[in-house]
Amino acid sequence: MNNHLFSYAQSSVEKVIFPLPVKVIMIDLDGTLLNTADDLALAANLMLRELGLPEKSSDTIQSYIGKGIERLVKRALTGQLDGEPDANLLNQALPIYQKHYAQNIHVNTKPYPGAVNGVENMRQAGFKLACITNKSEAFTLPLLKATGLFNQFEIVLSGDSLPRRKPDPMPLTHICSHFNVQPNEALLIGDSLNDAVAARAAGCHIICMPYGYNEGRDVRDLDCDSIVNSLEDVSKLIINSN
């Protein structure tokens, strides 16, 4: 085991010492558990093609991922992270995108290396597991079932499960209440600013993966307790306090 894993990490909340004693592990979907970028890009380009608009590279569309489908569609239409397309165009584009994504949701999507084993190891170690994502339930559940991961989680919270979603802390505090644990007994594993902000606001621990989307930004700039290369590596940083 690498000695550097067990060291102090500075966060906006407090200094933490590894291994972290936690009871609940919450895992983000897109960019953390599953590599969905190619299918999200495919649906976006099919939408643009149907609308008679220029298609974009997969890398460009990947930089648009991170704040839900509506924001991704807005970015694909405008080519800007904070762009706002014409309202009529957006209303036309959204159902077209949803149609194409539903038809192509599992063409190229697959778990990241180590993700399946990592989740299974956490379950076998007795951690309470939750999947927490901003993706709509209509897309989340089919993806988890298609990849064989659905039954690994005791609860799945999608972007439309509650009135608010990440970066709001509501989904995280809901999970903590569901398992009857304090926020500092829960860990969120994610890949984006949304995840880091939500975890800090909720008072939960946060570990980030470097291979995700994060809107094209460097994950090392995020306020997280640690960065690991695989979900399998998370077990080196935590201990079950159940």
List, by residue number, the catalytic residues. Answer: 28
> What interhelical angle do 170-179 and 193-202 show, nearest 10?
50
CB-based contact 131:144 (threshold 8 Å): yes
From residue 233, alpha-carbon distances to 112, 195, 227, 238 in Å are 13, 19, 10, 10
- 31 CB contacts (<8 Å, ≥6 apart)? 37, 65, 66, 190, 191, 192, 209, 211, 212, 213, 214
Q: Which residue's structure tokens are 């500092």?
A: 184
Q: Which single residue is written with the structure tokens 């709001």?
A: 168
Q: Peptide bond before 21: cis, by omega within 30 degrees of 0?
A: no
What phi and psi, each to the nearest 5 degrees, are found at residue 129?
Answer: -115, 140
Could you give the angle at which helices 87-103 and 68-78 cross, rounded to 10 degrees?
A: 120
Please check whether residue 138 is in contact with residue 103, taking contact to mean a CB–CB distance below 8 angstroms: no
Report cis status (omega within 30 of 0) of the bond before 167. Answer: yes
Q: Which two tokens stand for residue 23?
A: 């009871």
